[in-house]
């Protein structure tokens, strides 16, 4: 495979970033937007081509005789050499998940580029201030995200991980005049930075033990009897395994170093993927423009954590405790987010919590995946859900963006009954809701069903729990749907335009994404993406009993939502009065933000930083100053001796001379 | 009764001590100069006495005193010139008021 | 004498001094400063190329371009020069910052005196980096320190007299320790009866300082240089000094002068006294480890831009010394990279702060806001500087910090596993935490200063950067990005210095 | 053994020397101080005569009593008004003065009375005649003082010029 195309996939967005960033202000808004979109479009084509090549060309660099998919290193350049062995390289790794992610990222990114052409202007067609900057940032983000997914080593991943964080910061804070946007962007960056600290230490630990950053070496299948995914030196993999298997490897606080490393790396993933308790930045990140939410905070960046775990999946397999942590964190987060999503007013917030919940699904799916259960069905299900979720969640966000653009508010209280005035939005939004609720034949049904069935294989408790969350998902999504499009007739406030469907730049992406959501479920994912590259027909693992139960649960959720929210009625208010405590806690997101606020402001700032600053100024600096003061004082004290009064000088002289003389005399005698 | 060297030295010492006392306590510059002269004189007497009692065959002490007198004269003349100048500038000759050049 | 390229690093600033002295108006002064600093940049580039050529041709001597001219024979004081990768990196850094600094002080009042002192300071800096004779080194060190007093005291702002006095006295206090240490080294530079020498290379080759003496001289020299490297608890001159200094002086001081500390710690304290470095490093590890987080925490609550940056310098420079003390080649390479990176980055910061201050006449972030709307160019540069500071990949801070962390983690794990205690490991992890705290204070400033609504309506009339300001900042940004994007070039340049021989002595 | 006359003479001289010097430094009238100084100087001159140095005694009277004191008187008249009294001494300054003087007295007095050499009788000596004095002063041989003599003359010249320059009205 030629090196040109992969290079271009990364180079075009980077070039667009610099080009639009430096010269964007000189060109018209329209030109900048078009250029950005075209650039992304070409990346889209190239990525599709690459993915297609990878999956379907059947070249022997991609697939071996047995039909296993291989990891293929397109290029790998030394970037920074720490020691002989520890080298950061920048490269391009093609394997099932990175090829899939290329498709996901470029698709969503292109849709968002196109959509923003319509979204980022007001009703009179005037482009927003900083439109060119917006496209530059979008390009930067796409570049970083693509770099992240194709990273052949964990350090490159970390590099792009950080870049993704920074571009997310810039995009959330796009409306930099708005204080809430600024603080949201700050929060997002700092929370993920904190998670990255764990990630970094995890990388350091892992690389210290294994002496490598490369995924191929780190993750060659460690379990005997299964064919290797890659053409790596098996010896390396063996030795890595031995490093951790031997008792010589130290333990720290009761857990082995590998566990610690993996848990710390997972912490990085928790930060980016908004797992509890590091999820607090994601709802606030909705302060960014809606296309940004669709791109970054629904479809691509937030799944980076899932992707990270999937990347290191063979390593995680070696540590059951790490897997359990992933499962538990995922399960708790999924439920928590679903609960909170049920009562939010801001439609973007609902979607944000729904995203958290869905990503938690993927995490759980990874956490319960074992080679012995359906050949690692959970892994495949997780990736599948990642794919389908990206599509329908982007669809939902873009739909929400269309609504917000039309209404001018984020609250559903300002919407209601929009199904007639915005038919295209309505239909596509409904498709998105059906997909996420898991109704056959929409894509969400298939992926979620597989997640549930792998949970069922692992533990019945997890299965029940996740099914409950799936039901909640259906409920809150349809609550949202009904409250926006039904409930009561829409009343346009005085002086506002009547809501209507948006221009084609905005509706076209909706339609495309809706179409994908309808059909994506039928993609034979098991043939394409599996944890060890060995393809299988996932229909063989399809469990109709699980499927029918999950369908039933989803329908129950939808039915409940229909009863409560289809028409204006008293039921929701009654429910709220019946369970006031629960409602309040959910509404305030279980007070996580307040807790963090307390920790950062009261403890970090109030109890550490301020006292330290005081300590510095008064104790340390005071000591230094007191040396000076002491010198000054001493000088003041002996200054009167130099009074300028010659008589005193004479006196001192005399006394001194007499002392000396007296001593001399005494000595002479 | 034999008048030995110490009989001359003790009054000279007392004279010197008076000079010291005067120099330290008096604030008038001319009075200080007077005290200075007292001390000088006491020293002159000592020179002479040592010469006379210890080394009578030589005349170093006497000549030293002689030169000391000459130099004292010069010194006094110059000191008084300065004092008069200060008086012109400061309108008094109190040594306490002349501390502007200290430190 | 004039056949050696290194001596021109001192001659050019001296010629510039003469040129400024003869100049009659500000135009001529600017011309001299710009031409001279361009010449210095060119010279350092030529030096770099020649050096790489020689290394490529297989030169293995620890220092190249060595030469020595006797100065005072009875005490064996020579003007001995020589460079290795580290010195070259530092020379390049200095010339860049002198260049940017000249542009940043385009409109300084009383330019003649200002540039005279500034150039004298640069002479000292360049002289320091090229010399390998301890005495000459110390002399140049002092030459670099003294002008600082006048530059802050005369051209500064705020409590400038206090700050200038404090800075000078604390640094002088440091050099008192240093002088003791250097003289001690001199008197043990040869075995009994041998010819004493000040030459670093000879001393290192002889390795004749008795271990007992090393344990005494190492703290002396380390603290001596450490004061200049803003090591806790001797860092307090830095916030006050920087806050009151004029722009170019802050740039030069934080950008280059503080690097003298790190460079000296490596070149003198560790290089000459490896035994004591091994034995006593834990004391200084604790101190520098504290500096790293301490500076960062303090920066979180300050509201004066320069104070924030000064504390951030404390944190970053603490990392330099911290990494040096890890005594392994990766961490030390990282330390030098961090010196380069921090030098450029903080110079950029101070330049920008100076430019903003020159317009708004306040440095309080509580009294500013929404600068992005008013001064887009400067604000974008500020964001870039901030991103570099918090370690965004692609800018210099990231590679430096990562190299340090990888290296010190290695050292820490090695210690931990061999049962030598977990001090290094624990402090490595603590130092890692600084990346989060750095993000906090950087984003806090960026958020308050640049974003949000415009705080003061008067600020709306401000004008964006002029061409000389743009030159200054763009130069620095390009350098920051160059290190960030092509770190391996610098890595290799620096790495060649840390030959296995050094670490053989250290027993690592 | 000295004659009674010389003993009486000694006591008169010694007493007057002590008394007048004490009065010279304690009186509050500056002109009186100068006068007491004059008496002290005379007493010193008498001591010189008693010790057989007639030339020195004469010089003492001529230069000191005749020259310096006159200078003093002129200076006093120029710088103070008749009837001016020096302010009373503060106890602080008096204490200091007394401490200094007493300390001096004790240390030096102790040194004096513990030297046996100072209790030897006066040896015989021929009073130096004018010829000897002149030859010694203007000779350039061993123990002769031409050079100091010239030096002093230059000094005096410089002093004259200096005095004129300093005291000159601008």
For residues A474 and B90, the model is more confident at A474
Interface residue C307 vs chain A (CB under 8 A): no
| Whole-number pLDDT of residue D114 | 84
Each residue's pLDDT tens digit, A268-321: 888 888 888 888 888 888 888 888 888 888 888 888 888 998 888 888 887 788
How many whole angstroms separate alpha carbon C492 and alpha carbon C490? 5
Tell whether D10 is within 8 A of chain B (Cβ). Answer: yes
Touching, C vs B (3+ Cβ pairs under 8 A):
no
Distance between CA atoms of residues C371 and C375, nearest Å: 5
Burial of C218 (0-12, 13-18, 19+ CB in 10 A): buried
- Closest Cα to residue C128, out of C97, C168, C90? C90
Helical ranges in chain D per DSSP H:
4-26, 30-50, 54-59, 69-79, 91-113, 130-138, 146-167
Closest CA to C137 of C233, C208, C49, C225: C225
- Does the interface ipTM go beyond 0.85? no
Counting beta carbons within 10 angstroms of the beta carbon of residue A429, is it exposed (0 to 12), middle (13 to 18) or buried (19 or more)?
Answer: buried
Quote the pLDDT of residue C199: 85
> C201 Cβ partners below 8 Å, 6+ apart?
C62, C63, C66, C82, C132
Nearest to D104 among B17, B26, B57 (CB): B17
| C-alpha span between C145 and C149 (Å, rounded) | 7
Q: From residue A644, how far is each of A648, B102, D87, D91 by CA, in Å? A: 8, 5, 20, 20
Q: Does D125 sit within 8 Å of B3, measured CB to CB?
A: no
How does DSSP assign C392-432, residue by residue?
A: -TTSHHHHHHHHHHHHHHHHHHHHHHTTS-SHHHHHHHHHH
Query: A78 forms bridges with which residues in the sheet?
Result: A89
Cis peptide before A277 (omega within 30 of 0): yes
Q: Is the pLDDT of residue A669 over 80?
A: no
Chain A residues with CB under 8 Å of D93 CB are 647
Q: What CA–CA distances, in Å, run from B62 to A151, B14, D39, D52, D60?
A: 107, 21, 21, 11, 11
Residues A72 and A232: their CA atoms lie apart, in Å, by 10
Q: Are A110 and A34 in contact (CB under 8 A)?
A: no
* Per-residue pLDDT tens digits for D96-149: 889 989 999 998 888 888 887 778 888 888 878 888 888 888 888 888 889 989
- With CA atoms as reference, report the closest residue to A107 among A51, A32, A174: A51
B27: closest chain A residue by CA: A647
Residue A222: pLDDT band with limits 50, 70, 90: very low
Is the CB of D108 inside 8 Å of chain A's CB atoms? Answer: yes
Q: How far is CA A354 from the centre of its chain?
A: 14
**Interchain contact B32–A (C-beta under 8 A):** yes
Domain boundaries, chain B: 27-95
Distance of alpha carbon A298 from alpha carbon A395, whole angstroms: 10
* CB contact B20 to A (< 8 Å): yes
Helix, coil or strand: residue A411: strand
Q: Do C391 and A162 touch (CB under 8 A)?
A: yes
- What's A639's DSSP letter? G
Which of B20, B99, B100 has its CB closest to that of A645? Answer: B99
Q: Is the pLDDT of residue B1 over 50?
A: yes
CA-CA distance, C204 to C307, in Å (whole number)?
39
Asked if A109 and A142 touch (Cβ cutoff 8 Å), the reply is yes
Per-residue pLDDT of chain C (508 residues; tens, 9 = 90+): 677 888 888 888 899 889 888 888 888 888 888 899 899 999 999 999 988 888 888 777 778 888 888 888 888 888 888 888 888 989 999 999 988 888 888 888 888 888 888 889 999 999 999 998 889 999 999 998 888 888 888 888 888 888 888 888 888 888 899 999 999 888 888 877 778 888 888 888 777 788 888 888 888 899 999 888 888 888 888 888 888 888 888 888 888 888 888 888 888 888 888 888 888 888 888 889 888 988 888 888 888 888 899 889 889 989 999 988 888 888 888 888 999 999 999 999 898 988 888 888 888 888 888 888 888 888 889 999 999 988 888 888 888 988 899 888 888 888 877 777 788 888 888 888 888 889 888 988 888 888 888 887 877 787 887 888 888 889 889 999 998 888 888 888 887 777 655 665 555 4
Chain B residues whose CB is inside 8 A of the D44 CB are 41, 44-45
**Would you state the pLDDT for residue B100?**
64
CA distance C232 to C229: 9
Which secondary structure element, helix H or strand E, spans residue A397, and what is its range?
helix A377-407
Q: Please report the pLDDT score of residue A235 as a whole number.
A: 40
Q: Which fold has domain B27-95?
A: Helix Hairpins (1.10.287)
What is the phi/psi pair of residue A567, to 5°? -120, 155
Write a three-state SS string for A583-638: HHHHHCHHHHHHHHHHHHHHHHHHHHHHHHHHHHHHHHHHHHHHHHHHHHHHHHHH
- Nearest Cα residue to C438 out of C478, C407, C491, C400: C400
For residue A182, the chain C residues in CB contact (below 8 A) are: 447, 451-452
- Dihedral of CA atoms C72, C76, C81, C87 in degrees, nearest 10, equals -120
Q: For residues A23 and A139, give the distance between their C-alpha atoms in angstroms, rounded to a whole number.
A: 14
pLDDT of C39: 92
What's the angle, vertex CA A525, arms to CA A519 and CA A531, rounded to 5? 155
Nearest chain A Cα distance for residue C370, angstroms: 7
Q: Which helix (H) or strand (E) holds A92?
A: strand A87-94
* A643 contacts chain B (CB < 8 A): yes
Residue A255 has what pLDDT?
A: 65
Judging contacts by C-beta atoms under 8 Å, the chain A residues touching residue B98 are 644
Q: Is residue A93 within 8 Å of A73, Cβ to Cβ?
A: yes
* Residue C406 CA: distances (Å) to CA of A26, A67, A109, C340, C438: 43, 39, 34, 18, 19
Unique residue bearing structure tokens 């002392």: A659
Which region holds residue A416: left if phi is over 0, alpha if psi is between -120 and 50, else beta?
A: left
Burial A546-579 (b: 16+ CB within 10 A, else e): bbebbbebbeebbebbbebbeeeeeebeeeeeee
Q: What is the pLDDT of residues A635-644, one digit of tens each?
A: 888 887 777 7
Taking the C-alpha atoms of residue A182 and residue C245, their distance in angstroms, rounded to an integer, is 31
What pLDDT digit, counting tens, does each position of D68-87 carry? 888 888 888 888 777 677 77
Cβ-based contacts of B99 with chain A (< 8 Å): 643-645
Helical H segments across C156-273, by residue range: 160-187, 200-206, 211-228, 237-244, 247-252, 258-264, 271-272
Supply the pLDDT for residue C508: 43
Which distant-in-sequence residues (6+ apart) come within 8 Å of C18 by Cβ?
none
Distance of CA A107 to the CA centre of its chain: 18
**Distance separating alpha carbons of residues C188 and C134, to the nearest angstrom:** 13
How near does any CA of chain B get to the CA of D60, in Å? Answer: 7
- Of the listed ranges A89-93, A538-542, D125-129, the least confidently predicted one is A538-542
Alpha-carbon span A559 to A566, nearest angstrom: 10
Write phi, then psi, for A57 (nearest 5 degrees): -75, -25
Global confidence as pTM: 0.83
Tokens of A569: 């009625």
Please choose, from the candidates A139, A365, A392, A175, the residue with its C-alpha nearest in 3D space to the C-alpha of residue A273.
A365
Buried b (16+ CB within 10 A) or exposed e, C372-387: bbbbbbbbbbbbbbbb
pLDDT bracket for residue A436 (50, 70, 90)? confident
Kindly indicate the confidence band of residue A538, based on its pLDDT and cuts at 50, 70 and 90.
low
- Other beta carbons less than 10 A from residue D6's beta carbon: 12
Residue of chain C minimizing CA distance to A210: C410
Q: In whole angstroms, what is the distance from residue A218 CA to residue A311 CA?
A: 10
First to last CA, chain A: 109
Confidence at residue A246, expressed as pLDDT on a 0 to 100 scale = 53
CA distance D118 to A604: 86
CATH topology assigned to domain D1-113: 1.20.120
Residue D91: other Cβ atoms inside 10 A: 9
- H-helix or E-strand containing A90? strand A87-94
């Amino acid at each position: 495979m030629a090196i040109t195309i992969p290079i271009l996939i990364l180079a075009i967005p980077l070039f667009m970033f610099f080009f639009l960033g430096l010269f964007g202000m000189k060109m018209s808004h329209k030109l900048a937007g078009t250029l950005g979109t075209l650039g992304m479009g070409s990346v889209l084509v190239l990525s599709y081509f690459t993915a297609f090549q990878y999956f379907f060309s059947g070249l022997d660099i991609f697939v071996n005789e047995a039909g296993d998919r291989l990891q293929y290193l397109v290029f790998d350049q030394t970037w920074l050499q720490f020691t002989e062995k520890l080298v950061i390289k920048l490269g391009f790794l093609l394997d099932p998940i990175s090829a899939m992610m290329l498709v996901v990222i470029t698709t969503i990114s292109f849709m968002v580029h196109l959509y923003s052409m319509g979204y980022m202007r007001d009703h009179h067609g005037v482009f927003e201030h900083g439109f060119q900057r917006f496209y530059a940032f979008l390009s930067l983000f796409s570049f970083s995200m693509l770099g992240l997914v194709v990273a052949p080593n964990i350090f490159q991943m970390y590099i792009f991980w950080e870049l993704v964080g920074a571009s997310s910061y810039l995009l959330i804070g796009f409306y930099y005049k708005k204080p809430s946007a600024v603080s949201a962007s700050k929060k997002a960056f700092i929370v993920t930075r904190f998670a990255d600290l764990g990630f970094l230490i995890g990388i350091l630990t892992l690389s210290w033990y294994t002496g490598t950053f490369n995924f191929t070496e780190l993750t060659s299948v460690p379990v005997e009897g299964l064919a290797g995914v890659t053409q790596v030196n098996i010896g390396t993999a063996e030795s890595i395994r031995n490093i951790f298997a031997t008792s010589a490897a130290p333990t720290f606080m009761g857990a082995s170093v590998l566990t610690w490393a993996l848990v710390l790396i997972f912490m990085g993933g928790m930060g980016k993927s908004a797992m509890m308790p590091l999820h607090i930045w994601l709802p606030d990140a909705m302060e960014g423009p809606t296309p940004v939410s669709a791109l970054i905070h629904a479809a691509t960046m937030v799944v980076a954590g899932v992707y990270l775990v999937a990347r290191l999946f063979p390593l995680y397999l070696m540590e059951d405790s790490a897997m359990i942590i992933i499962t538990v964190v995922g399960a708790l987060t999924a439920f928590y987010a679903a609960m909170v999503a049920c009562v939010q007013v801001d439609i973007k917030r609902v979607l944000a919590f729904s995203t958290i919940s869905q990503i938690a699904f993927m995490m759980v799916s990874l956490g319960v995946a074992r080679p012995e259960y359906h050949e690692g069905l959970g892994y495949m299900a997780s990736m599948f859900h990642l794919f389908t979720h990206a599509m329908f969640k982007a669809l939902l966000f873009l739909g929400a963006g269309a609504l917000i653009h039309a209404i001018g508010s984020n609250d559903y209280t300002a919407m209601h009954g929009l199904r007639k005035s915005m038919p295209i939005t309505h239909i596509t939004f409904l498709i998105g809701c059906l997909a996420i609720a898991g109704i056959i034949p929409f894509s969400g049904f298939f992926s979620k069903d597989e997640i549930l069935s792998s949970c069922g294989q692992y533990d019945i408790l997890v299965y029940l729990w996740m099914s409950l969350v799936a039901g909640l998902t259906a409920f809150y999504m349809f609550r949202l749907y009904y409250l926006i499009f039904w409930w009561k007739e829409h009343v346009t406030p005085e002086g506002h335009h009547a809501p209507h469907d948006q221009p084609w730049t905005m509706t076209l992406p909706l339609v495309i994404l809706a179409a994908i959501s309808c059909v994506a479920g039928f993609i034979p994912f098991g043939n394409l993406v599996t944890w060890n590259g060995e393809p299988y027909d996932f229909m063989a693992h399809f469990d109709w009993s699980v499927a029918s139960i999950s369908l039933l649960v989803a329908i129950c959720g939808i039915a409940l939502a229909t009863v409560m929210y289809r028409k204006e009625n008293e039921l929701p208010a009654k429910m709220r009065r019946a369970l006031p405590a629960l409602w309040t806690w959910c509404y305030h997101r279980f007070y996580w933000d307040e807790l963090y606020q307390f920790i950062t402001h009261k403890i970090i700032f109030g109890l550490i930083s301020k006292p330290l600053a005081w300590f510095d100024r008064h104790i340390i600096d005071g000591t230094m100053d007191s040396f000076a003061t002491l010198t000054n004082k001493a000088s003041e004290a002996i200054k009167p001796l130099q009074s300028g009064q010659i008589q005193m000088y004479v006196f001192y002289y005399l006394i001194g001379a007499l002392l000396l003389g007296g001593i001399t005399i005494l000595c002479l005698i | 009764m034999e008048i030995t060297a110490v009989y001359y030295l003790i009054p000279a010492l007392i004279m010197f001590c008076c000079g010291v006392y005067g120099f330290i306590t008096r604030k008038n510059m001319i009075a200080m100069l007077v005290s200075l002269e007292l001390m000088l004189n006491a020293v002159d007497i000592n020179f002479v006495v040592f010469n006379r009692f210890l080394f009578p065959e030589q005349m170093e002490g006497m000549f030293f005193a002689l030169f000391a007198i000459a130099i004292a004269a010069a010194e006094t003349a110059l000191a008084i010139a300065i004092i008069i100048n200060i008086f012109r500038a400061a309108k008094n000759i109190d040594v306490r008021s002349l501390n502007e050049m200290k430190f | 004498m004039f056949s050696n390229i290194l001596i021109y690093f001192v001659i050019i600033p001296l010629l510039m001094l003469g040129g400024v002295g003869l100049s009659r108006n500000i135009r001529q002064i600017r011309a001299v400063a710009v031409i001279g600093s361009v010449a210095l940049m060119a010279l350092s580039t030529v030096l770099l190329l020649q050096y790489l050529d020689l290394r490529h041709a297989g030169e293995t001597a620890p220092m190249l371009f060595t030469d020595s001219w006797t100065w005072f024979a009875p005490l064996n004081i020579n003007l001995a020069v020589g460079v290795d990768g580290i010195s070259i990196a530092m020379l390049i850094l200095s010339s860049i910052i002198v260049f940017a600094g000249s542009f940043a002080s385009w409109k300084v009042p009383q330019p003649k005196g200002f540039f005279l002192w500034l150039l004298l300071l640069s002479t000292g800096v360049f002289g320091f980096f090229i010399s390998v004779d301890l005495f000459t080194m110390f002399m140049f060190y002092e030459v670099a320190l003294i002008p600082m007093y006048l530059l802050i005291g005369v051209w500064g702002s705020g409590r400038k007299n206090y700050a200038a006095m404090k800075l000078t006295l604390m640094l002088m206090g440091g050099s008192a320790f240093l002088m003791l240490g250097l003289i001690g080294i001199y008197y043990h530079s040869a075995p009994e009866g041998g010819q004493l020498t000040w030459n670093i290379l000879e001393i290192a080759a002889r390795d004749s300082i008795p271990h007992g003496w090393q344990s005494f001289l190492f703290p002396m020299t380390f603290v001596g240089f450490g004061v200049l490297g803003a090591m806790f608890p001797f860092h307090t001159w830095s916030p006050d000094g920087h806050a009151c200094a004029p722009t170019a002086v802050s740039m030069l001081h934080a950008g280059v002068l503080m690097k003298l500390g790190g460079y000296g710690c490596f070149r003198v304290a560790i290089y000459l006294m490896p035994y004591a470095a091994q034995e006593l490093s834990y004391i200084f590890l604790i101190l520098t480890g504290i500096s790293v987080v301490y500076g960062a925490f303090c920066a979180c609550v300050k509201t004066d831009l320069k104070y924030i940056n000064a504390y951030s310098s404390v944190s970053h420079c603490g990392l330099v010394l911290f990494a040096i003390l890890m005594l392994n080649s990766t961490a030390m390479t990282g330390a030098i990279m961090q010196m380069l990176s921090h030098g450029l980055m903080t110079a950029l910061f101070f330049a920008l702060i100076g430019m903003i201050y020159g317009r708004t006449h306040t440095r309080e972030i509580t009294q500013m806001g929404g600068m992005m709307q008013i001064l887009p160019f400067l604000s974008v540069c500020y964001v870039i500087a901030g991103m570099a500071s918090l370690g965004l990949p692609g800018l210099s801070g990231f590679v430096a910090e990562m190299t340090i962390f990888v290296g010190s983690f290695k050292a820490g794990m090695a210690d931990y596993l061999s049962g030598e205690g977990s001090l290094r490991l624990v402090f490595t992890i603590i130092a890692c935490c600084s990346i989060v705290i750095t993000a906090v204070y950087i984003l806090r400033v960026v958020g308050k200063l640049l974003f949000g609504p415009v705080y003061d309506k008067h600020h709306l009339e401000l004008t964006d950067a002029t061409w000389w300001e743009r030159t200054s900042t763009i130069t620095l940004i390009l350098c920051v990005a160059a290190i960030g994007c092509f770190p391996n070039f610098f890595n290799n340049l620096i790495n060649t210095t840390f030959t296995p021989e050094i670490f053989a002595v250290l027993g690592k | 053994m000295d004659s009674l006359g010389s003993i009486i003479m000694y006591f008169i001289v010694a007493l007057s020397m002590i008394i007048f010097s004490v009065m010279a430094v304690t009186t509050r009238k500056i002109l009186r101080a100068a006068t007491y100084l004059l008496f002290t100087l005379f007493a010193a001159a008498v001591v010189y005569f008693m010790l057989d140095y007639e030339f020195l005694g004469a010089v003492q009277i001529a230069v000191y009593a005749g020259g310096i004191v006159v200078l003093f008187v002129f200076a006093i008249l120029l710088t103070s008004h008749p009837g001016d009294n020096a302010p009373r001494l503060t106890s602080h300054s008096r204490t200091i003065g007394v401490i200094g003087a007493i300390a001096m007295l004790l240390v030096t007095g102790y040194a004096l009375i513990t030297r046996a050499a100072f209790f030897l009788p006066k040896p015989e000596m021929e009073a130096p005649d004018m010829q000897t004095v002149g030859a010694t002063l203007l000779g350039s041989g061993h123990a002769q003082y031409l050079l100091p003599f010239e030096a002093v003359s230059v000094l005096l010249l410089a002093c004259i010029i200096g005095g004129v320059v300093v005291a000159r009205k601008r």
